[in-house]
Amino acid sequence: MRLSILFLFCAAAVASPPRGTQPDPRAAVVCGQANRIAAELTEITGLPLRHPVPCAFITKDKINEFLSKRVREVASPEEIRAEELTLKKFGLVPPDFDLAQSTVDLLTEQAAAFYDYNKKKLFITETTPTDNQEPVLAHELAHALADQSFDLARFIKKGRKSDDGSTARLAIMEGQATWIMSEYLVRKNGQTLRDSPELVAMMANMGDSANGQFPVFDKSPLYLRRSLIFPYTKGMLFQNAVVQRDHQFGFAEVFLHPPVSTQQILHPEKYFANVKPTEPDLPNPRLPRGYKGLVAGTFGELEHNILIEQYLGKQRAGELAPHWRGATFELRENKKLHRVVLLYASQWDTEDAARQYFAAYRQILSKKWKTFSMENETADSITGTGDDGRFQLRRTGALVTSMEGLPPELH
């Protein structure tokens, strides 16, 4: 699944600012620290600063204006509609959710700075508090160092072959920059993340504690909130695990041999062991004529964790989601009948885990719909009717499949 919030955030975080951005005299003071900070980051990572990084201020209004335009540039209305429908079909957002507007509002609120890897320039919002400007500058300069050695535009482009892999690559970019920024800050107190797991955990969890400062974020669906902070928090912990194993070379290793799934980010040992996700075959609904593929993709451990947490709680998500091995989905639409069918297949590491997920997904179906009635139920198969039509949920071995929104004529 192309994670909408991450995809758009990635585009926004690295794209060109809107025209009309005016120089701010305060920027000279803040940006004057860039060369000094970059030199310290080079000492931390071993990544060279090949040329200075231009720096400027930008207003929140300009960012909002830019994001609204950027959403239209990175995705067509039909692509945005398809992603929005996917989130709604899985029950990750409410039926009246507006993906494009919610994304713009959320990112405008969150924006503190961004590095443009096309223009090779970084920007800091003028509203960034003075005591946050140096950490923000260090984070964006970390992106610049990575870009000058590994070409971030090419790095992101190569990851688009896999939806879950794209998210993992974004976690590399943001997780590494967060680790480097944190190491830069703790070194001021004579400490280092390299020998303090407690310090790493504390720095990684800082992104989880907004303390009511971001009302748009606080009101957003769980999916958007988790997706937004994942690259920073879990990405940082992943980078730390690689640094502990590979030392300074670990900063280059993650770009030379990037992880291929959010599962590898969440469980670095799976990255080290090269455990790759499966792509299970989708169920065949044998739909009548008139249905066409709308969107298809993969559904990673991160998404399963969020889905289970949303409906069954954080503890259950933590118990079950790590047993994920791979998942695919597709939406097929009949525009004439105004009907969208969700086809979904997930594979688990054991039959027992699949049985547990089968039971969990049955609960999810009953909770995400206002209408849920069963026709037939066995230990491994359920058929019935939900809000958008008939459904069939089945388990075969370690595979769980679901077809939702089926037309009434299919029995």
Q: Which of 201-215, 261-275, 284-298, 339-353 has the lowest mean pLDDT?
A: 201-215
Distances in whole angstroms, Cα of residue 139 to Cα of each of 37, 48, 64, 177, 346: 10, 15, 21, 5, 36
- Report the C-alpha gap between 209 and 371 in whole angstroms: 36
- Report the C-alpha gap between 333 and 32 in whole angstroms: 54
Q: In this predicted structure, what is the pLDDT of residue 16?
A: 35
Q: Count Cβ atoms below 10 Å from residue 360 Cβ, excluding itself.
A: 21
Average pLDDT value for residue range 224-249: 96
The reply to whether 225 and 121 lie within a common domain is: yes
Model confidence band, residue 143 (pLDDT cutoffs 50, 70, 90): very high
Note whether residue 174 is domain-resident.
yes
List all residues 6 or more positions away from 345 whose beta carbon is below 8 Å from its beta carbon: 280, 281, 282, 283, 327, 328, 329, 399, 400, 401, 402
The reply to whether 196 and 248 lie within a common domain is: yes
To the nearest whole percent, how much of the chain has pLDDT over 90? 68
Note whether residue 283 is domain-resident.
no
Full-model pTM: 0.91
Q: In this predicted structure, what is the pLDDT of residue 70?
A: 74
Range of the domain at 65: 4-272
- Report the C-alpha gap between 142 and 232 in whole angstroms: 13
Q: Does the pLDDT value for residue 220 go beyond 60?
A: yes
The reply to whether 258 and 323 lie within a common domain is: no
The closest of 75, 233, 245, 49 to 160, measured between CA atoms, is 75
Note whether residue 411 is domain-resident.
no
Taking the C-alpha atoms of 15, 82, 91 and 14 in order, what is their torsion angle to the nearest 10 degrees? Answer: -10
Q: Count Cβ atoms below 10 Å from residue 244 Cβ, excluding itself.
A: 15
Q: Two tokens at 280?
A: 């299970």
Note whether residue 72 is domain-resident.
yes
The reply to whether 257 and 332 lie within a common domain is: no
List all residues 6 or more positions away from 184 whose beta carbon is below 8 Å from its beta carbon: 37, 40, 41, 44, 135, 138
The reply to whether 131 and 223 lie within a common domain is: yes
* Sheet strands (E) in 7-156: 55-58, 113-116, 121-125
Task: Please give the residue that has the higher pLDDT: either 132 or 238.
Answer: 238
Average pLDDT value for residue range 296-316: 97
Q: Does the pLDDT value for residue 149 go beyond 90?
A: yes
The reply to whether 377 and 249 lie within a common domain is: no
Note whether residue 281 is domain-resident.
no
The helix (run of H) or strand (run of E) holding residue 292 is strand 292-298
Q: Does the pLDDT value for residue 313 go beyond 90?
A: yes
Domain boundary among 221, 243, 272: 272
Note whether residue 345 is domain-resident.
yes
Average pLDDT value for residue range 209-217: 74
3-class DSSP assignment, residue 231: helix
- Report the C-alpha gap between 307 and 108 in whole angstroms: 25
Q: Does the pLDDT value for residue 127 go beyond 90?
A: no
Note whether residue 186 is domain-resident.
yes
The reply to whether 10 and 111 lie within a common domain is: yes
Q: In this predicted structure, what is the pLDDT of residue 274?
A: 97
Task: Please give the residue that has the higher pLDDT: either 140 or 63.
Answer: 140
Q: Does the pLDDT value for residue 27 go beyond 80?
A: no
Task: Please give the residue that has the higher pLDDT: either 108 or 206.
Answer: 108
- Report the C-alpha gap between 386 and 371 in whole angstroms: 5
Q: In this predicted structure, what is the pLDDT of residue 20?
A: 45
The reply to whether 263 and 376 lie within a common domain is: no
Report the amino acid identity of residue 74. Answer: V
The reply to whether 31 and 133 lie within a common domain is: yes
Q: In this predicted structure, what is the pLDDT of residue 361?
A: 98
Q: In this predicted structure, what is the pLDDT of residue 64?
A: 82
Average pLDDT value for residue range 296-301: 95
Q: In this predicted structure, what is the pLDDT of residue 243?
A: 97
Note whether residue 62 is domain-resident.
yes
Domain boundary among 272, 302, 335: 272
The closest of 227, 404, 400 to 325, measured between CA atoms, is 400
Average pLDDT value for residue range 263-274: 98
Cβ density class 145-165: b for 16+ within 10 Å, e for less: bbbbbbebeebbeebeebbbb
Q: Phi first, then psi: give them for residue 109, nearest 5 degrees.
A: -65, -40
The reply to whether 299 and 166 lie within a common domain is: no
Q: In this predicted structure, what is the pLDDT of residue 212?
A: 65
What is the total count of domains within the chain?
Answer: 2
Q: In this predicted structure, what is the pLDDT of residue 23?
A: 53
Q: Does the pLDDT value for residue 335 go beyond 90?
A: yes
Q: In this predicted structure, what is the pLDDT of residue 404?
A: 98
- Averaged pLDDT score across all residues of the chain: 89
Model confidence band, residue 74 (pLDDT cutoffs 50, 70, 90): confident
Q: Does the pLDDT value for residue 25 go beyond 80?
A: no
To the nearest whole percent, how much of the chain has pLDDT over 70? 91
Distances in whole angstroms, Cα of residue 299 to Cα of each of 1, 161, 162, 279, 307: 5, 14, 10, 10, 11
Q: In this predicted structure, what is the pLDDT of residue 14?
A: 33
The reply to whether 268 and 399 lie within a common domain is: no
Task: Please give the residue that has the higher pLDDT: either 160 or 408.
Answer: 408
Q: In this predicted structure, what is the pLDDT of residue 123?
A: 87
Longest dimension (CA), the chain: 70
Q: In this predicted structure, what is the pLDDT of residue 107?
A: 85
Distances in whole angstroms, Cα of residue 397 to Cα of each of 3, 353, 354: 28, 10, 7
The reply to whether 231 and 307 lie within a common domain is: no
Domain boundary among 272, 303, 330: 272
Q: Does the pLDDT value for residue 21 go beyond 50?
A: no
Model confidence band, residue 157 (pLDDT cutoffs 50, 70, 90): confident
